[in-house]
């Protein structure tokens, strides 16, 4: 569904025959710093933004939309990747929601809020003491000493909450207990997986964690697919479970196999494989896992995603032609990748604000000196934003950086093409401009020099 950003009211066209009456949402964004408020839907256990509204000077915003399904949605100023600054609601055709988003909470207002959202609001008020400590950890300083007792208190309340809160909507009422269990798991795991001034030993974990297993939460793919941030929570449960079982995380395909061993559901195993494949930075690692586990792609959606990842990975294969980028250098001259044909090219993707990038500079300078007089061309491509171009130019001068210094003006098509989501990234291309590797060792590793010498020696 196409996303629209407007000032106060976002209207989404009906996309399914299911939608008969729109959901109407009126809100007030009562925070010091005004941000766009987004509406999210659940797509196979992940969140997808479907609309955004900019609060007005009176802090009011609103949405009118036709729900694609009856179930859980989220509204807030956060991201698709985390529950932080987002709140979960339940919508069916014709529902109305009126609420205020405050600094650390939300409150329902008006008299037309559905019974389902009144119940979710009551649950939210119960879980807020641990949610603030788990997700708002940068502002609310907490350790396991105070968190674990609060967690056990909320868990005890959860056991009777559904009995005392019935909406009359059998679909919602049957899903409420599952939703509560997922919400508890999200808070409990996010607390352990975020920085704290003190961390508990496994033997100090609260009793709640003893039953926190993927076997319990990953039995039903359909339930996972309908739950907000379910995949994120499953990953967090896996991490905590491994720690509790003293199983160190494996690297590469070994780590993937560990994930598979923990998951009891084949459809969810397929999703885990697809997530792994999408993260790979070289074709060989991708192909190793794709060939071994492709039988787990069971649904039409998984097969479609697998094909898309395969097509995307093809451009990263060793021997394929590199992207013919074109960027200005520090003197304003445009440099194209094609201009470098006949050279073994080492590309360094970096930024002035990146600490690990700057830590590699002395090693890169040393490597350049050692390979001086050979056909190796070092190309440093900055992904600094345009506003920081002067800072980039100053650093080139102050640090006396060598090689070709190019400016990409942010994370554009180059970064997307090579799936660069973190820096520094080093890549090697042969004299014909073909990929050797798009994720090489760093200059601080002797393996990079050995690789470059091997490519130089290749006829």
Yes or no: say if 75 and 38 are a contact pair by the CB < 8 Å rule. Answer: yes
- Please check whether residue 195 lies inside any domain of the structure: no
User: Could you tell me the pTM of the whole model?
Assistant: 0.71
Pairing of strands 425-429, 404-407: unpaired
Q: Give the C-alpha separation, 60 to 195, whole Å.
A: 35
The total number of structural domains in the chain stands at 3
Q: How many CB atoms lie within 10 A of CB 362?
A: 12
What is the CATH classification number for the domain harbouring 74? 2.60.40.10
Does 238 fall in a domain? no
Residue 224: exposure state from Cβ atoms within 10 A (0-12, 13-18, ≥19): buried
Q: Per the structure block, which two tokens stand in for 307?
A: 């094909």
Q: Is the peptide bond before 194 cis (omega within 30 degrees of 0)?
A: no
Q: Which residue segment(s) compose the domain that 332 sits in?
A: 326-457
Residues 27 and 93 in one domain: yes
Final residue of a structural domain among 49, 84, 113: 113
CA 164 vs CA 89, 176, 349: distances in Å: 19, 12, 57
Based on the fold, state whether residues 4 and 55 are members of the same structural domain.
yes
- Residue 392, in any domain of the structure: yes
CA dihedral of residues 271, 274, 275, 280 (deg, nearest 10): 160
| Same structural domain, 60 and 106 | yes
CB atoms within 10 A of CB 78: 19
Q: Which of 95, 113, 131 is at the close of a domain?
A: 113
* Domain termination residue (choose one: 316, 343, 372): 316
In tens digits, what is the pLDDT along the chain, a chain of 459 residues?
334 443 344 445 444 444 479 999 999 999 988 999 999 999 999 999 999 999 998 999 999 999 999 999 999 999 999 899 999 999 999 999 999 999 888 999 989 999 999 999 999 999 999 999 999 877 888 999 999 999 999 999 998 999 999 999 999 999 999 999 999 999 999 999 998 999 999 999 999 999 899 989 999 999 999 999 999 999 999 989 888 888 887 888 998 998 888 899 999 999 999 999 988 877 778 888 999 999 999 999 999 999 888 877 766 778 888 889 999 999 999 999 999 999 999 999 999 999 999 999 999 999 999 999 999 999 999 999 999 999 999 999 999 999 999 999 998 888 888 888 889 999 999 999 999 998 899 999 999 999 999 999 987
268 closest CA partner among 234, 304, 245: 234
Domain assignment present for residue 336? The answer is yes
């Amino acid at each position: 569904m196409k996303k629209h950003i407007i000032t106060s009211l976002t209207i989404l066209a009906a996309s399914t025959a299911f939608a008969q009456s729109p959901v109407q949402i009126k809100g007030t964004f009562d925070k010091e710093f005004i941000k766009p408020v987004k509406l999210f839907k659940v797509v196979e256990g992940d969140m997808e933004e479907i609309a955004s509204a900019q609060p007005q000077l009176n802090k009011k915003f609103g949405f009118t939309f036709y729900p694609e399904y009856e179930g859980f949605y989220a509204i807030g100023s956060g991201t698709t990747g985390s529950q932080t600054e987002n709140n979960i609601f339940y919508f069916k055709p014709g529902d109305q929601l009126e609420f205020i988003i405050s600094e650390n909470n939300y409150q329902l207002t008006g008299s037309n809020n559905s019974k389902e959202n009144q119940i979710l609001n009551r649950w939210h008020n119960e879980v807020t003491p641990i949610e603030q400590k788990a997700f708002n950890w940068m502002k609310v300083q907490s350790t396991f000493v105070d968190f674990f007792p609060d967690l056990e208190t909320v868990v005890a309340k959860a056991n009777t909450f559904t009995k005392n809160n019935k909406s009359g909507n059998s679909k919602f009422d049957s899903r409420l207990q599952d939703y509560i269990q997922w919400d508890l798991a999200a808070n409990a795991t996010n607390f352990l997986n975020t920085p704290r001034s003190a961390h508990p030993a496994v033997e100090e974990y609260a009793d709640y964690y003893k039953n926190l297993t993927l076997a319990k939460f990953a039995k039903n793919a359909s339930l996972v697919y309908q739950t907000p941030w379910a995949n994120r929570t499953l990953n967090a449960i896996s991490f905590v479970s491994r720690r509790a079982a003293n199983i160190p995380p494996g690297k590469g395909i070994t780590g993937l196999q560990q994930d598979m061993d923990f998951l009891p559901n084949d459809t969810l195993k397929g999703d885990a494989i697809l997530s792994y494949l999408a993260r790979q930075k070289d074709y060989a690692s991708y192909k190793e896992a794709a060939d071994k586990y492709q039988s787990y792609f069971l649904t039409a959606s998984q097969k479609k995603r697998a094909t898309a990842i395969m097509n995307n990975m093809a451009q990263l294969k060793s021997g394929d032609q590199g992207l013919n980028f074109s960027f200005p250098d520090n003197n304003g001259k445009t440099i194209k990748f094609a201009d470098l044909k006949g050279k073994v090219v080492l590309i360094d993707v970096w930024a002035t604000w990146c600490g690990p990038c700057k830590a590699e500079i002395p090693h890169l300078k040393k490597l350049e000196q050692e390979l001086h007089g050979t056909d190796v061309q070092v190309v440093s491509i900055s992904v600094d934003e345009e506003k920081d171009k002067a800072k980039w130019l100053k650093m080139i001068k102050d640090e006396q950086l060598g090689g070709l210094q190019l400016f990409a003006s942010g994370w554009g098509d180059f970064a997307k093409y090579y799936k660069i989501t973190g820096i520094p990234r080093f890549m090697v291309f042969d004299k014909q401009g073909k990929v050797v590797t798009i994720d090489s060792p760093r200059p601080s590793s002797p393996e990079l020099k050995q690789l470059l010498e091997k490519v130089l020696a290749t006829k």
